[in-house]
Structure 1
Amino acid sequence: MEKSAIFRDERNKLFLDIMNSIRDALWVLDKHGNVLWVNNAAKRGLFEVSDIDLVNQNVLEMEKRGLFYPSIARLVTESKHFINTVQVTQNNQKLLVSGDFIPDENGDIEYIVSHARTLSETLNTNMELEKAEELLQRYKSQIRQLIWEKNKDNGEESFIGKSKAYVASLEWLEKVADVDTTVLITGETGVGKSAFAAKIHQLSDRSDKPFVHLNCAAIPEALIESELFGYKKGAFTGANQNGKTGLIAAAENGVLFLDEISELPLHLQSKLLQFLQNKTYIPVGGSQVQKADVRIIAATNTNLLELTRTGQFRADLFYRLNILPLNIPPLRERREDIVPLLDFYLKKYNNKYQKDHTLSGNLTDVFYNYDWPGNIRELENLLERLVITVENKEMDLRDLPDKIRNEQLGQISSLHALPANQTLTEYLNQIEREIIEETYRQLQSTRKAAARLGVTQAYIARRFKKYKLKVVEEKDLTTME
C-alpha cells in the first residue's frame, strides 16, 4: 500500500476532518519531499488549487519553480531537526512556517510535517512561536499514532497478537510512550522486550533523538562503568588519551535502554540511582558533575523484587525504575497468538529463501501445545531453520528437532496409556473433564471453550453438570439450556 493511502482510510475520516478544520496550512511529505497530503487551508491559502494538483507534487521542484522560498522540507532534510522560519510565496505573501520530521526505526527521516500561517495573523512573540511548535509536535504525535495503528493492523513484525493479555500490553505501551518518565519492561527471554523499548521511543516526543541500547550482561564488569558514564583523559591504564564519551551523553535528549538491568553491578546501581534522581553523573576519573536529559527504559527477565530481598539489587533503585512497569506475557499464556505468529514467520522466511513450505495440521497442533520456553525468538528461529533445511513442501512432525519431537510425542503417548485401575470409559471421562476444565480456565467463557473444542455450548453445559465443574457466572449455564 502506498504511504499516502493512510490518509484516505475511511476509519481516519474524523482525524482528517479535524485537520481540515484548522485554519493553518498543514503539509505531510515523504522523505523525498513528495506531497502525501495537505489540508484545505493549504490549498485555499497558498495556491487555490485542488487536492489532486498538490498531492504527489515535489516541494523541492516547486521551490525551484519559484512558488515559494525557502522549502521547509529542504531545510529539515539538511538539518534533521525542527525548523522555524519565514517563507515567501510567489505572490509575495510572507508565512511563518515550522517543519519537523517523523523518524523511522533507524532514526532516519520517514515523513516531514510542516505548519504555516501568514505573518499578518501572527504576533511576533515567543509565546506564538512556542504555540506553533506545540501544535506541530501534537500533529506529529497524532500521525505517529496513526502509522502505529496501521502497522499493528497489518501485522507489524514483533507486534503480532490479538489475545487479551497481549493487547493489554500493547495498550499500556501506547500510554507509557506519551509520559516522559522511566519504564521497567519485564518478561521472559525472547518475548520482545527490546522491540517494545524501541517502539516506546518511536511513539514518544523523543523519537527524533537517539535511541541507545546497552546490554548490561554483555559488557565485562570492569568496563561497564566507563561505557555508561564515560571517562576523562588518563582515567586508567590503557584509556584513550582523549577520554571517551559515555552512553548517557550519547543518548542526550533521547532514550537509553538498559537491557538485563539485573546484571548491573551493585557499586554502579547507586550511580545510576543518582542519575535517575538528579539527571547528573560524574565520568570515571573526572571531578566535574555532568548533566544529561535522557529518558531511561530498563528491562529484565528476572524478578527484581526478589533480588532486592536477597541483597543483589538495590531496593531504592528498583522502586525508582518501577514507576511505569510493563509486563510482556510469554507465548504459553497467549496461545491464540501462536498460529498468527507461525503464519507470519513462515511467510517471511519462505519469501527470504524463495521456498513454498506449508505446515501440516499435526505440526501446527504440536506448535500450539508446545510451551515455547524461548518465546517468540525460539519460534522465529525454529521456523527459519525448518524452512532452510526441510526438503518436502509440507513440513511435518518428522522435521522437528529431536528434543521437541520426543517431548511432544512423549506427552501424546502418556495420554494413551490406560491406567491399570481404570476402565476405558472412566479414563475417557477423566481426559474429557481435564480438557474441558483446562480450556475453560484459559478462556473463562463456556461459549469460547465450546468454540475452541468444536462442540456446542449446550454440550459444555451438560459436561459441567456431569463432572460438577464450577462456572464463573451461573447465568452462563442457564443461557445454554
Structure 2
Amino acid sequence: MKEIKAVSSEVELLEQIDIFQTAFESSYDGIHILDSAGNTLYINKACERIEGITMKDAYMFNIREMVDQGIYSESVTLKVLETNAAATIIQKVKNGNTVLATGTPIYKDGKIDKIVVNSRDVTELNFLRKALSEKEELTEKYQEEIRLLRLESLKNLGFISKSPNMEKIKDLAVMVAKVDSTVLISGESGVGKGVLSKYIHRLSSRKEGPFIKIDCSAIPESLFESEVFGYEKGAFTGAEKSGKVGLLELANGGTVFLDEIGDMPLHLQPKLLRAIQDREIVRVGGKQAVSIDVRFISATNGDLKQMVKDKTFRPDLYYRLNVVPIFIPPLRERREDMIPLIQDITEKINSRYNLDKKISKQVIEMMLQYDWPGNVRELENIIERMMVTEEDEFGVLQNLIGKKEQAGSAESYRQKLEEYDKKLLLDCIKEKGSVLRAAEVLGMDPTTMRRKLHKYKVPKAYWAEK
C-alpha cells in the first residue's frame, strides 16, 4: 500500500513538473534561471528569441563570460548578486534588442541559492515611444504653423496686435468662434471691440451668414423695439402696411453684434433675454412667436456690474450676456501694438486714397510717448489727417498732444518737441557718422536736417564737416 502511494506521489510530481515546464515554455516573456555562481540552470525558448542566444551558449558560458563576450551589455543577475536584492535594469543584448530584465533572488539558508530572471523585449516599445515623440514634435510644429496662419488671417481682418495680452485675446477669440456661446466684449471706446466681434463671426460656422450690428446708443428709445424686433402690419400709426422684419430676424443664420449694450432701454431687456434664451421673438403688435437662429455678441465701454447694482441693467440679462467675457486693454497698456498698427493704418490709407506716403521715424517715436485716450480710433484719425492734409506732422501732433499740457507749465509743448527732435537728430548723426547718412535713415532731406540743426543752435563744429 505504501509503495502504491509512493508511485502515485512520484507521478503527481512529474505531472506538476511537466505543467510548470509547459507554462515556462509557453510564456511570451523570457525566463532564465541561474545558480548563485551565474551558471544557467534553465532557459526557455522566449528567452532565446528575445536575447538572441542559443540554449547551448547559455549552458556553456557563465553569465560573467557572456557579459565579457558582449552577449549582454550588463547583467541583472550580477546586480542581484552584488546587492543581495531584487533588481531591474534595461540592457542591450546580442541581437540588438533592448530588454527590460528583472532578477529575483531565491534564498536558501539565508543566502542566494538561485536567481530567476524575467526578460521582456522593449525594442518595439522604444520604437513606438520614439515615433510618438516625433509625432508630438510634428504636432507642435503644425500647431505653431496654424498659429502663425491664424495671426496672418487676423492681420487680413484688421485685428493687428503683437502684445502678449492681445495674443491671449486672439487665442480666446479663436476658441469661442467654434461655438455659439454669447460673448461680452468690454473696454474703452476705440479699442477695437467691433473689429473683434467681426473676427469671431468670420471664424465661426456662421461666416456665410449676415453680421448685423445694432448700436444700442444710436437708436431712439421710441423706435428701438420696432427696429430690433420688427412689427406686424397695422401695429401702430405710421407703420408700413405689410409690417417690417426686425434686425434680429434679418440676422438669421448669422451674428448679431449689440454695441453699447448698456444703453439698451431697461423695459426691453426682458424681451432681449427671451430672444437669447429661447431663440424666439414676438414682433410689435404680434402674438405669434417667431423663431430666430442667431449668435449674440455684445460690447460695452461701461461697467455693467455697477449698472446691475444701480438697477439700471437687469442681472439676469447681464449673466446671460456674460457667458464668455473678453476685456480689451486700452492702447496705452499695450504699446507693443503701436508700430504694427501704425504700419497697417498707413498702408490702408495709401491704398484707399492712392497715396505713397509714410510716417517719419521721429513722429512714430513721439506717437509712442502719447497715451492715446481715444485708443486705436484716435490713432487712425490722426494718421489719416497727417497723410491727407498738407499740415506739418509735428504741427498735427502738437495740436493733439499739446492739449495735455497744463496751463502755467514751465515749458511749452513746442519747446519739448524741439528738444526731442534735436536729441533724435544728434543721436542719429552720432550713430551713422554723417548728416547725409542720418538724413537718409530718417527719410529727411540733408538740407532740412542742417536747417534744423542751425535752428536748434547746435555748434557747427559738431556737424558741419560731417
Which category of TM-score, normalised to the shorter sequence, fits these structures?
0.5 to 0.7
Residue aligning to 1:451: none
Residue aligning to 1:287: 287
Residue aligning to 2:316: 316
Does the CA-based 8 Å contact 1:258-1:297 persist in structure 2?
Answer: yes
What is the alpha-carbon distance in structure 2 between the residues aligned to residue 145 and residue 339 of structure 1? 21
Letter of the structure 2 residue corresponding to residue 197 of structure 1: S
Q: How far is 1:308 from its partner?
A: 0.6
Residue aligning to 2:209: 209
Residue aligning to 1:343: 343
Per-residue Cα deviation, 1:345-366 (whole angstroms, up to 9, x for no partner): 2233234444444434442232
Does the CA-based 8 Å contact 2:213-2:257 persist in structure 1?
Answer: yes
Residue aligning to 1:374: 374
Q: Which has the larger radius of gyration?
A: 2
Length, aligned pairs only: 270
Residue aligning to 2:396: 399
Taking a change above 3 Å as real, the CA distance of residues 149 and 228 of structure 1, as seen in their structure-2 partners, is same
Per-residue Cα deviation, 1:401-458 (whole angstroms, up to 9, x for no partner): 524235369889499x9xxxxxxxxxxxxxxxxxxxxxxxxxxxxxxxxxxxxxxxxx
Point out the more displaced range, 344-353 or 201-210.
344-353
Report SS of the residue matched to 1:359: coil
From 153, 156, 167, the counterpart of 1:151: 153
Taking a change above 3 Å as real, the CA distance of residues 145 and 255 of structure 1, as seen in their structure-2 partners, is farther
Q: How far is 1:195 from its partner?
A: 1.3
Report SS of the residue matched to 2:198: helix
What is the alpha-carbon distance in structure 2 between the residues aligned to residue 244 and residue 174 of structure 1? 35
Does the CA-based 8 Å contact 1:362-1:397 persist in structure 2?
Answer: no
Q: How far is 1:257 from its partner?
A: 1.1
What is the alpha-carbon distance in structure 2 between the residues aligned to residue 222 and residue 289 of structure 1? 22
Report SS of the residue matched to 1:150: helix
Residue aligning to 1:328: 328
What is the alpha-carbon distance in structure 1 between the residues aligned to residue 304 and residue 255 of structure 2? 22
Residue aligning to 1:303: 303
Q: How far is 1:252 from its partner?
A: 1.4
Residue aligning to 2:438: none
Does the CA-based 8 Å contact 1:372-1:379 persist in structure 2?
Answer: yes
Report SS of the residue matched to 1:350: helix
Does the CA-based 8 Å contact 1:186-1:326 persist in structure 2?
Answer: yes
5+ long unaligned stretches in structure 2? 1-144, 416-466
5+ long unaligned stretches in structure 1? 1-142, 418-481
Residue aligning to 1:197: 197
- % of aligned pairs identical? 45
Residue aligning to 1:267: 267
Does the CA-based 8 Å contact 2:162-2:340 persist in structure 1?
Answer: no
What is the alpha-carbon distance in structure 2 between the residues aligned to residue 312 and residue 212 of structure 1? 25
Residue aligning to 1:225: 225
Per-residue Cα deviation, 1:213-268 (whole angstroms, up to 9, x for no partner): 11111111011101111111111110011111111111112211111111110010
Q: How far is 1:287 from its partner?
A: 1.0
Q: How far is 1:293 from its partner?
A: 1.7
Residue aligning to 2:171: 171
What is the alpha-carbon distance in structure 2 between the residues aligned to residue 312 and residue 396 of structure 1? 45
> Structure 1 stretches (4+) deviating beyond 3 angstroms?
143-150, 350-362, 408-415
Report SS of the residue matched to 1:160: coil
State how 1:95-106 maps to structure 2 within 5 Å: none
What is the alpha-carbon distance in structure 1 between the residues aligned to residue 390 and residue 410 of structure 2? 24
Letter of the structure 2 residue corresponding to residue 218 of structure 1: A
Report SS of the residue matched to 2:162: coil
Taking a change above 3 Å as real, the CA distance of residues 354 and 256 of structure 1, as seen in their structure-2 partners, is closer
Taking a change above 3 Å as real, the CA distance of residues 357 and 249 of structure 1, as seen in their structure-2 partners, is closer
TM-score, normalised to structure 1, is: 0.52
Q: How far is 1:158 from its partner?
A: 2.7
Letter of the structure 1 residue corresponding to residue 222 of structure 2: A
Does the CA-based 8 Å contact 1:181-1:295 persist in structure 2?
Answer: yes
Residue aligning to 1:237: 237
Letter of the structure 2 residue corresponding to residue 399 of structure 1: V
Taking a change above 3 Å as real, the CA distance of residues 316 and 240 of structure 1, as seen in their structure-2 partners, is same
Does the CA-based 8 Å contact 2:228-2:247 persist in structure 1?
Answer: yes
Residue aligning to 2:384: 384
What is the alpha-carbon distance in structure 2 between the residues aligned to residue 169 and residue 403 of structure 1? 30
What is the alpha-carbon distance in structure 1 between the residues aligned to residue 382 and residue 254 of structure 2? 35
Per-residue Cα deviation, 1:149-197 (whole angstroms, up to 9, x for no partner): 4323xx3353111101111111111111111121111111111111111
Q: How far is 1:311 from its partner?
A: 1.0
Taking a change above 3 Å as real, the CA distance of residues 358 and 337 of structure 1, as seen in their structure-2 partners, is same
Letter of the structure 2 residue corresponding to residue 293 of structure 1: D
Does the CA-based 8 Å contact 1:197-1:297 persist in structure 2?
Answer: yes
Residue aligning to 1:132: none
Does the CA-based 8 Å contact 1:158-1:192 persist in structure 2?
Answer: no
Taking a change above 3 Å as real, the CA distance of residues 300 and 356 of structure 1, as seen in their structure-2 partners, is same
Does the CA-based 8 Å contact 2:233-2:243 persist in structure 1?
Answer: yes
Report SS of the residue matched to 1:287: coil
Point out the more displaced range, 289-298 or 372-381.
289-298
Letter of the structure 2 residue corresponding to residue 267 of structure 1: H
Does the CA-based 8 Å contact 1:251-1:294 persist in structure 2?
Answer: yes
Letter of the structure 2 residue corresponding to residue 172 of structure 1: L
Taking a change above 3 Å as real, the CA distance of residues 235 and 343 of structure 1, as seen in their structure-2 partners, is same
What is the alpha-carbon distance in structure 2 between the residues aligned to residue 414 and residue 318 of structure 1? 47
Letter of the structure 2 residue corresponding to residue 242 of structure 1: S
What is the alpha-carbon distance in structure 2 between the residues aligned to residue 345 and residue 412 of structure 1? 35
What is the alpha-carbon distance in structure 2 between the residues aligned to residue 376 and residue 256 of structure 1? 23
Report SS of the residue matched to 2:197: helix
Taking a change above 3 Å as real, the CA distance of residues 352 and 227 of structure 1, as seen in their structure-2 partners, is closer
What is the alpha-carbon distance in structure 2 between the residues aligned to residue 209 and residue 270 of structure 1? 26
Taking a change above 3 Å as real, the CA distance of residues 361 and 149 of structure 1, as seen in their structure-2 partners, is closer
Per-residue Cα deviation, 1:103-132 (whole angstroms, up to 9, x for no partner): xxxxxxxxxxxxxxxxxxxxxxxxxxxxxx
Q: How far is 1:284 from its partner?
A: 0.5
Report SS of the residue matched to 1:218: coil
Letter of the structure 1 residue corresponding to residue 205 of structure 2: D
Taking a change above 3 Å as real, the CA distance of residues 280 and 406 of structure 1, as seen in their structure-2 partners, is closer
State how 1:87-166 maps to structure 2 within 5 Å: 148-152=150-154, 155-156=155-156, 158-166=158-166
What is the alpha-carbon distance in structure 2 between the residues aligned to residue 280 and residue 188 of structure 1? 32
